[in-house]
Amino acid sequence: MAFNAWHNNDSLKTILEHIHANWEDLRDEQELRIFSERAAVSRLLNVVYALMVFYNIMIHTVSPLVPPAVDWFVGGNWSRPEKNLLEVEYLVLDPDEYYTLIYAHGAQAGFLVVFVIVTCDTFFMTITQHSCGMFMLLG
């Protein structure tokens, strides 16, 4: 998805220029109201979607830290193995010795991937809502 957005960067720029031109071509208050309503719906959908996805990635990122935190606060089973976000194999690193670095790398990679996906998805939701506004004007 991110590669597609990067590869079609010129097409995406053209789409944004067309959207801007459509806003510039609005002639009366009713057209402006229709476009404004669609923009408000798009903004709401984008914010709710992004918040839900980032909330879920935060829960996923923090979940491996809960058992060690409970052990630290309450005092518990310190012999339980530490869990990482991703099952990865760094051939030169001992996973137990470099747990913090591997965890930080997994968290960064996860957030980056999710950020790119959310960016592309919200862009497509915005285009869809703009198209709905155009169809409402034409219909």
Asked if the model's pLDDT at residue 1 lies above 60, the reply is no
pLDDT digits (tens, 9 = 90+) for 67-121: 777 777 887 666 667 777 777 787 777 777 888 888 899 899 999 999 999 998 9
Asked if the model's pLDDT at residue 52 lies above 70, the reply is yes
Give me the long-range contacts of 130-137 (CB less than 8 A, separation at least 24).
Answer: 130/19, 130/22, 130/35, 130/38, 130/39, 130/42, 132/38, 133/34, 133/35, 133/37, 133/38, 133/39, 134/22, 136/34, 136/38, 137/31, 137/34, 137/35
